[in-house]
């Protein structure tokens, strides 16, 4: 009982320190048992606490002045030093696995606005219940931007908007939030050997190459135009060997396919994959077996973005959940002007929050607004209806503040590996 109470007290201290922006204290605490994906009736989520302080206060904590935030302050009200501490704490929380899409509980049914003597009474308040920290942050930005557009308001909100913009960048930046464990290199090498050795493989994956228009990542190529991509693709069916025990352990979908004699895959011990490339399947298997991609010698190259998106589509279809996470994070890091439309489509279709957040963030960057507006109007041939609709809602949201968010014999050559 005493140990339990001590643990509960320690957890309360962590929440309080997060809400007060105590960066050094939080980093010095024992966070091994703290759940960065948790929610709290008074603080929302860990990211709510860092950004907005304590949302719900007890009667003895209540203050008559909203701006004081009952002694907890927040990112917007904080002074320069505390603001920087909160932003660094936000980065630390994201690296620790905090999720910006965890919503605040219904108990956090409270609104907040800013300004006080600067005319805050006329500022549009934001609410927290049922909304994620990211949504609340964007709502706060809209509220402040609307206030700056008020001709009767002469207050300077430059520093506040700069801090909010930096926080938005931190939350929208993809990061690896999946739990990881250190693995000895020889363990990965063993699984590479298993993948390469077809003598014990008992499943054949027949790969029928993509034909272009039916590809799940149409409009994205392996480094060139769509036509170049088609010319480079082989139309021959390629067979790749794998192990049913590994595939079944990684995917309940594949396990069902291969263990059911009434299904063609189970009876023939073969899986046919259409409209994709052999490079896609090999990338997928490398991630299933080793969690990394690899190459021999010095010819190592990143998988093309088309290959990555095809692998993401196939991993999602087969419910290879850890592979989906790896590929989603890798794709989000590689969004640029040539890839964001196809990535946007995949993110919407497969409902991938990290990839979608990266696409939306890229689309609303100043250098991309013109292209995004053209795409929203249907002036880009590769933009799907779903992307066009989301872009239109997103750009309206940016413009007027309306809501829209949401891996034989002799010595083997040593391979160099890397994570995606």
Q: Mean per-residue pLDDT for 228-257?
A: 79
Q: Residue 76 pLDDT more than 50?
A: yes
- Of residues 95 and 253, the one with the higher pLDDT is 253
pLDDT at residue 211, rounded to an integer: 58
Q: 204 is written with which tokens?
A: 């054949």
pLDDT at residue 49, rounded to an integer: 95
Exposed e or buried b per residue across 40-70, where buried means at least 16 C-beta atoms within 10 angstroms of its C-beta: bebbbbbbbbbbbbbbbbeeeeeeeebbebb
Cβ atoms of 391 and 380 within 8 Å: the answer is no
On average, the pLDDT of the chain sits at: 79
Cβ atoms of 114 and 34 within 8 Å: the answer is no
pLDDT at residue 367, rounded to an integer: 63
Q: Mean per-residue pLDDT for 153-176?
A: 84
Residue 240 pLDDT level (bands cut at 50, 70, 90): very high
Cβ atoms of 382 and 219 within 8 Å: the answer is yes
Question: What confidence tens digit (pLDDT) does each residue in 167-224 have?
Answer: 999 998 765 455 566 778 888 889 999 999 889 999 999 998 765 544 555 444 444 3
How far apart (Å, rounded) are the C-alpha atoms in residues 21 and 52? 10
Q: How far is CA 103 from CA 41, 43, 110, 124, 350, in A?
A: 11, 11, 14, 21, 21
Q: Mean per-residue pLDDT for 45-67?
A: 74
Residue 67 pLDDT level (bands cut at 50, 70, 90): very low
Has this prediction a pTM greater than 0.75?
A: no
Question: What confidence tens digit (pLDDT) does each residue in 299-346 have?
Answer: 456 789 999 999 999 999 999 988 998 898 888 888 888 888 899 999
Question: What confidence tens digit (pLDDT) does each residue in 81-137 have?
Answer: 999 999 999 988 987 888 899 999 999 999 888 875 555 456 788 999 999 999 999
pLDDT at residue 153, rounded to an integer: 75
Q: Mean per-residue pLDDT for 375-403?
A: 66
pLDDT at residue 296, rounded to an integer: 35
Q: Residue 227 pLDDT more than 50?
A: no
Helix, strand and coil in the chain, % to nearest 5: 55, 10, 40
Q: How far is CA 30 from CA 13, 67, 151, 181, 288, in A?
A: 11, 32, 49, 19, 33
Q: Residue 52 pLDDT more than 70?
A: yes
Question: What confidence tens digit (pLDDT) does each residue in 343-363 have?
Answer: 999 999 988 887 888 888 787
- Of residues 37 and 221, the one with the higher pLDDT is 37
The percentage of the chain sitting over the pLDDT mark of 90, rounded to a whole number, equals 37
Picking from 374, 353, 296, the residue whose alpha carbon sits closest to that of residue 175 is: 353
pLDDT at residue 294, rounded to an integer: 57
């Amino acid at each position: 009982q005493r140990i339990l109470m001590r643990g509960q007290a320690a957890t309360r201290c962590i929440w309080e320190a997060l809400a007060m922006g105590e960066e050094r204290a939080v980093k010095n605490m024992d966070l091994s048992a703290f759940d960065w994906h948790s929610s709290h009736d008074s603080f929302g989520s860990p990211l709510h606490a860092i950004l907005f302080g304590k949302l719900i206060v007890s009667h003895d904590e209540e203050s008559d002045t909203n701006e004081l935030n009952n002694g907890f302050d927040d990112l917007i009200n904080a002074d320069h030093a505390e603001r920087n501490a909160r932003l660094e704490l936000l980065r630390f929380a994201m690296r620790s696995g905090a999720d910006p899409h965890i919503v605040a509980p219904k108990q956090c049914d409270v609104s907040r606005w800013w300004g006080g003597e600067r005319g805050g009474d006329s500022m549009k308040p934001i609410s927290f219940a049922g909304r994620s920290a990211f949504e609340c942050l964007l709502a706060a930005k809209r509220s402040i931007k609307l206030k700056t557009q008020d001709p009767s308001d002469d207050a300077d909100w430059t520093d506040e908007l700069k801090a909010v913009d930096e926080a938005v960048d931190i939350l929208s930046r993809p990061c690896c939030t999946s739990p990881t464990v250190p693995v000895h290199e020889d363990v990965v090498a063993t699984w590479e050997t298993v993948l390469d050795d077809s003598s014990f493989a008992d499943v054949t994956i027949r790969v029928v190459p993509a034909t272009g228009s039916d590809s799940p990542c149409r409009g994205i190529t392996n480094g060139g135009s769509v036509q170049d991509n088609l010319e480079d693709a082989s139309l021959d069916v390629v067979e790749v060997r794998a192990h049913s025990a590994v595939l079944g352990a990684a995917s309940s979908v594949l396990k069902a396919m291969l263990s059911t004699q009434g299904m063609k895959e189970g009876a023939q011990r073969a899986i046919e994959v259409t409209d994709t490339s052999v490079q896609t399947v090999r990338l997928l298997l490398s991630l299933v077996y080793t969690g990394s991609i690899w190459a021999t010698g010095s010819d190592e190259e990143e998988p093309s973005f088309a290959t990555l998106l095809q692998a993401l589509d196939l991993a999602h279809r087969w419910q290879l959940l850890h592979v989906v996470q790896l590929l989603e994070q890798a794709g989000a890091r590689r969004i640029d002007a040539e890839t964001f439309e196809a990535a946007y489509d995949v993110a919407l279709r497969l409902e991938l929050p990290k990839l979608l957040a990266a696409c939306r963030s890229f689309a609303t960057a100043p250098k991309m607004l013109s292209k995004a507006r053209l795409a929203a109007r249907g002036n880009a041939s590769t933009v799907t209806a779903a992307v066009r609709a989301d872009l239109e809602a997103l750009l309206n949201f940016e413009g007027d503040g309306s809501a829209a968010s949401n891996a034989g014999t002799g010595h083997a050559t040593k391979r160099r590996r890397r994570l995606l």
